[in-house]
Structure 1
């Protein structure tokens, strides 16, 4: 079985990841910053947005794929995947605009954690309690 839902959700996340990486690369070139952030506050935020994405998304996509491969319901998989993408877009916009509090940063982080937690609980439930969700 090909995990088609995860394939599409992962592909959309890759597009976002590339966009975030390009923001870092273009800022580096424009401001001639070789390694690190060069003390540039905007560069620091762009690097953190990109890194934060790289820290959370792989595990979330792995969970999504494992749930799909276990035969989990398509509607819930779509909900998890779309919520994760929304969370990462919100977080990128929020943290990308300000190092302080913003609705996007808070909401994106909270939604990311909720999606991860929901998928973890779904995986535990699927494995230990129900075999045909």
Structure 2
């Protein structure tokens, strides 16, 4: 059995990103005095969703990436999918740091594009990872 080193690196980077996003939520809660919920604060809502969205996607990704790595999927494929997923999650977090990226509106569309790249990269990573794993197992 192969030790899932690529998954470990990806997991390490994702947990650091998760911690940083968690801190931004906590700091905002301290400034705003909103200890639970949103408190009708759209900035806090964005920070919570940015943090939550990573948590929702990263956990299952890392588990399946590790399964793919220790079973049958080639290392080059694992690396590529991991890099795409990490980049996608970074794009999404950056996009969700702005009103334009989260809710649209006037201004630079760079953040809208970053959010789309984040969503598509995450979706594509999931499909590629699941597809390669099933293909190599069958």
TM-score of the two chains, using structure 1 as the length reference: 0.92
CA distance in 1, matches of 2:5, 2:130: 20
Would you say how many aligned residue pairs link Structure 1 and Structure 2? 128
2:114 equivalent to 1:113: no
CA-to-aligned-CA distance 1:61-120 (integer Å, 9 cap, x gap)? 111101101042111111111111100000011122122241111110111000000001
2:51 equivalent to 1:46: no
Measured on the aligned residues, the alpha-carbon RMSD in Å equals 1.0
| Counterpart residue number, 2:16 | 15
| Counterpart residue number, 2:109 | none
Aligned pairs for 1:91-106 (under 5 A) are 91-98=92-99, 99-101=102-104, 102-106=112-116
CA distance in 2, matches of 1:45, 1:110: 19
8 Å CA contact retained: 2:7, 2:65: yes
CA distance in 2, matches of 1:75, 1:127: 17
Runs of 4+ that moved beyond 4 A = none
Structure 2 unpaired stretches of 5+: 105-111
